[in-house]
Every structure is written in structure tokens, then in C-alpha cells.
Structure 1
Amino acid sequence: MNLCHSRKRRILTFFYLILLVSSFASYSVVTHKIQQNETLFSISIKYNVSISTILDWNPGISPNSLRVGQSLKIPQPDGYLYEVKKGDTLSSIAKLFFADVEDIKKINGLTSSTIVPGQKIFIPNSAIGKGFNNEKSIIWPTYGTISSLYGYRVNPISKEYTLHKGVDIAAPTGTPVFASEDGVVEFVGENNGYGLMIQIDSNSNTFIYGHLSQINVYKGQYVKKGQLIGRVGSTGVSTGPHLHFEVRREDKLYDPLVLLPSRNNIYVLDERESAYGVGGE
């Protein structure tokens, strides 16, 4: 009986500490009810958040699906939410968002680096990108481990010898995916083996982001380099969560590793790199 009471007390203390930490966090979530003639653009201006942020916090909506009276979650300030998983550290989470640990601790009111599974961590948009490697014109679209290179290989699913048109970057489901260069979104949606896919055209390149779990942009949208455009997944023909990343110039395929910064310095705020389980297609 005493053991049961002690366990309940520990559980209550745990949730009290989580609530206490949350109460000191310097962000909030506003519920906005859509009014007549409002658009994603007008709502983003009203709250000073990006359209991609609104789409990330409200999965499944699109510019054409908005209806009067519909409720939207809007973070203040602009930013994204991450739910801590087993094995996560503040350092590993910071790398996923190319952010600095101290910025994350500050806005979440954290006085130590201790986090627990299920805890919600807010990543302010202003903190994202400090860890991008900008030594070349395009940046790494996500943080992870290369699980399959560009070139001819035996396809792990079909067992046929075919050209792998891009590189696969293995990362946990939900890992942020960022635009590698400024451009216009030319395609979003399901595309056969690519699963949920985004195509973005810049002045000189066409980028393909495949196997996503979520899409945070819409066709015709202009996006900036480093903007969060979606989340890693395993949709389509895939053997595990990863991002399939292709680069084309004038319809000619290029090995992305030739154009990207060094694969040994994906995240430049910290020389140490975390290893993830591989996935690919």
C-alpha cells in the first residue's frame, strides 16, 4: 500500500515539475478562429509567423481548405514544437533544428539540460539555422546520416540494378526538412514511389524532397533557403524513415554530395555528429 502511494506521489511530482517548467516558458499558443475572407497569408501577417509554421502546427490544412469558424493553433513567437523521444538530448534536438542549445533552454525556461520523453520543447524560428553550413550556395536539407548514395545500385526492394537519383539521409520520423535554396514550390503531394514529395525550383536548380511524413508548403509558394518545409517520413516505397534528396539542373541529374557542403560538417556549431539508424529506398 505504501509502495503504491509512493509511486503515485512520484508520478504527481513529475507532472508538477513539467507544469512548473512550462509555466516559465516564454512562448504561448493562440487559438485563432478563421473569419470571412481570411487567408493563410493574412493570418501569417496578423500573428507575424510564417505560413509554413501555421501548416506545421495544423496538419492537413491547405490554402484551399480553410473555412469560416475553423480553429487554428498559432505559436507566439514564431516557432515549432518537438516532443522528446527516448534517447533524445537537448544537443541532439538542437542539431535537428540546426539551432543552439542555449537558445532552446532560454525560451523553454530550462535551467538544466535534463529532459524526459513526452516533454514538449519549443524551438523558436529565430534560433533555427545557426548551425547551417553555408560554405556553398545550397545547404543540407536535414540532419542525419547518409544511408544511400547517388548512382547505380541494387535496389533494396525491387532487387534490380537501377540508378538511385539522389541521396538518402536517414533520420527519425518527424525530423525537420529545410529548403536548400530559395525557390518556388512547383509540386506537393503523393508521387508514386517518392511518397509525399515536394519539388522546389530555384533560379538554377530543381530540388526533390521525398518520403515525407508531412508537407508544410503549398504549390506556388515562394520559400527562402533554410525555411522549414516538411518533416522526414517513410511514405511511398521506403525501407525506413529518411529523406530522399535529388538535385537537377536543366533536367540533368547531379550528385547532391558534389553540390552540398562537406558531409562531415552538416551541423557547424559542434564538430561531433550523432549517428542514427539507417533507412532508405
Structure 2
Amino acid sequence: MAHLSRSFRSGLQVGTSLSLLALLAACSEPLDLDMRGVLNGGFNTADAARAATAPRPDPDNRGVISYPTYQVAVAQRGDTLATLASRVGLPASELARYNGVQTGDPLRAGEIIALPRRVAEPSPATGAATTGPIGAPSDIDITTLASDAIERSTPTPTQRATPQDGNEPIRHQVKRGETAFTISRLYNVSVRSLAEWNSLDSNFTLREGQYLLIPVVTQAAAPREDAPIAPGSGSPTPEPPSASQPLPEETPAPAAATPAATAKPVANVGTQTAASASNAAMSYPVQGSIIREYAKGRNDGIDIGASVGTTVTAAASGQVAAITRNTDGINILVIRHPDNLLTVYTHVDNISVAKGDAVSRGQSIAKVADFEPARVHFEVRKGFDSVDPMGYLR
């Protein structure tokens, strides 16, 4: 019997060693923490581990993260549900019922609490960069873009917080029997990113009724193109490029023989604007002296000096996309053009068009406002990106 017991223990040790070797071999892939992909041959979370996820957005001073269809609050260090409810302005009992907790329960720093109804939107008054919910990156916020144009057009631009954007994540309510691993498998995200987004503890503890934000995947895992190579079979020899595509027959001309690239038009500070050529894509919104040239990131347009009351015209035909003003009372006018182009006009007054109006090139849209120095700040944008207006004006 003792011999059989020793043999059984020996066999168990051998089996355990083989299992450990199998686990170590699997470590060439991102580690599947619940081991199910290794032990029973089911699918694993390696693809989810390779997928890149965006960071969770920053909350405002109250802890509120606002999306178009829901809001959540992020607990601060030392919070109970009651203190968090007081900070966001909702009854603690209502918040407790919605999240399946008690009003006096302590919360982990960073823990997500779902809000059953909307509270006041984050705004500069609550520490947010802009007012309103987080929008998708593809949504062009014309008003924000134009307000930023005001800041860049000043001689000494102030530092502004960058508005947050991002796709709205799925909000998942934990059901009985679910774990962080089963939920990460359900949405094909890594357990680590799920824990980071929701500030789970080291044991990935969940409670029934808890709400989780599912991390937004920004880059899916690249599929594996080749199967694992069996031991001893050797590595395949790569095919040289010339085997599938012949080498070019002609030799490229020497660099000296190629014509020099045409220099881009540049605004010269102090020069007078001239009437744009008939074939130019745009015309100057006002005639005057260029007092500040384009410098991407510092002045994303040009500033044209002109007398107060001078007529400002549309640089190209399009539709008025926005008319607004910033906190200093500076008017901002944005016109949308074909090919995803926008023109922005600031430091103007007596605006004679309305949002949605169709305008023609050269049509009067406003007057030069009374500023020191009197000027028009003019930008051309390709979507979000500024481009040098001189390339369109000459």
C-alpha cells in the first residue's frame, strides 16, 4: 500500500509538472488569468489582452462623467454613497436602490456609481473643459472650434483645457453569478482594462446590481496570420519580394534632375492684401494689411488689419454653420463649405447673416468690430485641422 501511495504521489507530481510546463508555454501569449483557455481548450482572452483600449475620461470636480444617454459618478477617497449623493445632488436612498448598495456603504476611490437620472451637465463651473456631455471624436463641435479660434487669434493666447471626446461605452449591470472574467469575455476586453476603468479591487470583486463601464476598444487585436510551428519542423523560409513582383526595368532619374517643388504661398506680415486671382479657391474676407501670419498651433489663421466698420465678406460660397460669442463677448462666425472645409471669422460685429443661411463668395456677412488693433482673424479648416489660408487665397 505504501508503494502504491508513493507511486500515486509520484504520478501526481509528474502530472502537475506537465501542467505547469503547459502553463509556462502558454505565457508566450498574454496571460489568461482564469486559465480556462489553457485547462479546457476553450477560447482564451489573448485577443482581448492585445486589443488597445482608451483611458477612462476624467470626471469633473463633483466626480460626474456625462455621456449623451447616461451619466455616472466616480467616487473619491473616503466617500460613502451618502457623501457622493450629496455632492452630485441626488437623494442617497434613490442612488442606493439604483446601484444595489446601502447609503452608508464605503466606496473605493474611483468606483463607478450609476446615476438614475441626469444631474447638471459638467461645465467650467464644475471643473470641466466645456459644457455638456462627452461627444464622439467624429462630431465636429463648431462652437468649441470657433471659441478656440478666438484664443489662438489673440497675441498672447491663454492656455485652455482640451475638451474630452470619446465613444460612449456600454454600461453593464452585474447579474448573479457573473464575474469580471465572464464579463470581460462577453465584451472581448481584458480583465485588467475592465478593472482599471471601474477601479475594481485586487480580487476583481463584484456585487449583484453593480454597474460597470465597459472599456472602449480603440484598436482591435491583429489576427494571427500564421499557426504555431510544431517543434522540430523548422522555420519557413520567407519569400523574397522579387519572387512576387519583378524589379523595375527603368532606373529612376537622379535627384538633381527632378524639378524643384513649388514653394507654398506664405503671408508676409506688413504686406497689403490684393484681390485674389479669379481662379483662387477663396477671396480675402477684407482688404488690409496682414498683421499676423499663420503658425499652426500658435495662430491657426491670419489676422488682417482693417478700419472699424469695414465690410467683411464670405471667402467662399457655403452655409452659415454657427454664430456665437465667447465669454469676452467676441463674436465668432463659421461657414461650412464643400469638401469638409470650414472658414472662421472673429473680431467682427453687425453680423448680417443667420445660422443656416446660404452665402455666396464676396457676400457681405459682417463688419470689422472695434478692437485694438482693429482686425479680422480668418481661419480655414479641413475638418478639425487648420490649414494655411494663403494656399486658398492665392
Q: TM-score range by the shorter chain?
A: 0.3 to 0.5
TM-score, with normalisation over the residues of structure 1? 0.40
TM-score, with normalisation over the residues of structure 2? 0.29
Higher-Rg member (1/2): 2
Report 1 or 2 for greater relative contact order, CA contacts < 8 Å, sequence distance ≥ 6. 1
Structure with bigger strand share is 1
